[in-house]
A and B are shown apart, each in its own frame.
Chain A
Amino acid sequence: MSDTDPREIVLKGIGASPGICIGKAYLVDKEGVDVVKKYFVPKENLLNEKNRFKTAVKKARDNLHKVIEDTPEELRDHANILKTHVALLRDKMLYGKIIEIIEKEEVNAEWALRKVSADLQATFRKMADTYFRERATDIGQVSDLIMQNLMGTDHENIKDIDKRVILVAEDLSPAETSQIQLEKIMGFVTDRGGVTSHTGIIARTLEIPALLGIDRATSIIRNDDLIIVDGSTGELIIHPSEQTLVRFVKRRIEYEAHKAKIARGNHLPAKTSDGAVIHIMGNIELPEEVVSVKNYGGDGIGLYRTEFQYLSRSDFPSEDELSDKYRDVIEVMAPNPVTIRTLDINGDKAISRHPDSLEPNPALGLRGIRYCLKKPDVFRIQLRAILRAAAGFDNVRILFPMVSGEEEILEAKVILNEVADSLEKEGFNLSRNIKIGVMIEVPSAVIMADTISKEVDFLSIGTNDLIQYTLAIDRGNKEVAHLYQPLHPAIIRMLKRVSDAARENDVKVFMCGQMAGDPVYLPILLGLGIRELSMSPLGIPTIKHVIRQLKFEDTERFAESVLRQTTAEAIMKLLKDTYGDILFQKNNIQATDQQPQ
């Protein structure tokens, strides 16, 4: 802390995981390791800077030699590794390159080391052979040794922080967050990222507050600064004043109390006051999220998005890889249902990441079932993986996305049957109880819901896309975003049509869009006969809590009067007048699930 009292700064970001935490900031860089500052070294001091680096290397070398000497004979393998490290310390590509960068770029030794080491590690990580890929670790360890000597002994390493801190980073990616001891983390703040980023998912799973997308967080916040993170409102306060602190401590207590109250009902069924049971399911993207679905009292997985494994890699995932992941989820959730949605992106693009191959209008382009039917090889591998993972279980449902009519369903079913036959020929004992369903998210599928129902076991309404396609609104476009209205009478009538078609054909109707996770829409959805809702795990307790305060009989009548309204505004007014006290409670934890379902 400096002598002068620093001014309180309030910044606004995206609240990706609710809750409030107050604590000291700890800055890490993209790889989840301590931030190394870059500064320029004046020409006349460059010689000094290079010598400082050489001394650090010499120290590391002396230390290693000493360790090697003290290594007993039976650990010779280990000593050999250390000998290689000694040789690496003076390797041209590391040592020589770092000296070169200090000189050419006139920067500090730490920065040069960090840069060279990161580049080398990246080169190795790209290599095909496992042995060579793992050499990245050697480079990392050798660099750490030098870095410790450069930064001095009082420097703390993220791996051994012993107090709880709020992690501040530019961005954190999956592999990187795994290095951090998460139990030491009270909250996350990042410059980049959004609700659906990996950091967001991790934070929600761990139930710790997270604020993402705060532009200059890492340049404004310094190590050890006192900060407040409010993941519910999206506020970040740096150097809070005495009054602000008191205010947030109070808010934190309120929030925790509210959460505890709702959590007590987590594992009770979502039953209306007159006994109608609604199944409340979780939407997940990573197998790890199953834990939060269970913790929050979810009755199953209503939507398992499978795109993640096709992203951020250069090749397609293998059948075995996919099958293992699916199996994890199915096993943990059994006997509760797991709804696996087949690939809903253009897999070629996800993998190639060619910016020039972008379609001008991807929302209306080659994605979902269209892509899969065009690339049956990719589709078959995923279907094989699902069927193999489902063997021995009867809780698996397969969900086809972006279906616009009957032909696509028939075609997909033909491929599914072929895949099942060939697996059985190969000797697999497949489960006979797999349910097949389609997403209802394209308006034509709503119109055809009656014939579609004859071909499937269930329908799942994806409201985000359905609303976008029906109202012709791109939510990301600021000019028209306000016209994105879930309560538009056209949408309500569509829901009614789908629900009626499903009932008449005796198939189940579910909902897995954002509308399903927002308590405001509950009376309408219940009244229209939707008996299974799937949402971000975090939203489950609130939805259950609100359902218990509703009476099913009333919602049926309420839905009828909603259907008579002609504007979204009138429907909202009706909701407020009838259910205002239940639906618009402060502190309600909403499912912030902004992905297209």
Chain B
Amino acid sequence: MDRSFKEFSKDVVIVNELGLHARSAARIAEIAGSAKSEVRIRKGEEEVDAKSIIDMLTLGCAKNSTITIKIGDYDSDINILNRIVELVESGFGE
């Protein structure tokens, strides 16, 4: 592995009022579902599976929390990562 960890992950701030709630988690899971590698979300010490709505909900992310989105394979899934970041930054279009 010569790529550094940075290339596989991005930090993003939750901007929508409701935080990472069920509907928004469902949209992340939908995108993450088509990734070939693992997609994970970390908040503080906790890390969850971005393909599972339930797992994401257990993070309890309120507005203004910072999360880190990680992909397991740069080449196949960088687009997935970018799409999720964009979605979160746009406040899930709410």
Contact = CB atoms under 8 A, between A and B. Distances in A.
Are A and B interaction partners? yes
A65 B52 CA distance: 20
Contacts of A84: 22-23, 26, 53
A123 B58 contact: yes
Contact of A128 (B22, B30, B60): B60
11 contacts: A80-B23, A87-B26, A88-B53, A91-B53, A91-B55, A92-B51, A93-B54, A94-B54, A120-B54, A124-B57, A124-B58
Contacts of A127: 58, 60
B60 A87 contact: no
Interface string A77-102: 00010011001100111100000000
A129 B51 CA distance: 22
Interface string A114-154: 00000010011001110110010011000000000000000
Given A127-B60, A128-B60, A88 B21 contact: no
Given A91-B52, A93-B49, 17 more contacts: A83-B23, A84-B23, A84-B53, A87-B29, A87-B53, A88-B54, A91-B54, A92-B54, A92-B55, A93-B54, A93-B55, A94-B54, A120-B54, A123-B58, A124-B57, A127-B58, A132-B60
A128 B58 CA distance: 11
Secondary structure at the A interface, as helix, strand, loop or mixed, is helix
A162 B40 CA distance: 48
Contact of A93 (B18, B21, B26, B52): B52
B11 to A, nearest CB: 22
Contacts of B26: 83-84, 87
Interface residues of B, number: 18
Q: Which among A83, A120, A128, A132 has the greatest number of chain B C-beta atoms within 10 A?
A: A132
Interface of B: 18-19, 21-23, 26, 29-30, 49, 51-55, 57-58, 60, 62
| 6 A-B pairs with least C-beta separation | A93-B54, A92-B52, A87-B26, A132-B60, A84-B22, A93-B52
Contacts of A131: 18-19, 21
A374 B76 CA distance: 64
Nearest to A127: B60
A129 B58 contact: no
A129 B54 contact: no
A120 B18 CA distance: 21
Nearest to A142: B54
Contacts of A124: 57-58
Q: Which among B21, B51, B53, B55 has the greatest number of chain A C-beta atoms within 10 A?
A: B53
Contacts of B55: 91-93
A126 B5 CA distance: 33
A127 B61 CA distance: 11
Contact of B57 (A80, A83, A128, A135): A135
Q: Which among A80, A92, A127 has the greatest number of chain B C-beta atoms within 10 A?
A: A92
Contacts of A92: 49, 51-52, 54-55
A512 to B, nearest CB: 45
A77 to B, nearest CB: 10
A87 B58 CA distance: 16
A85 B52 CA distance: 13
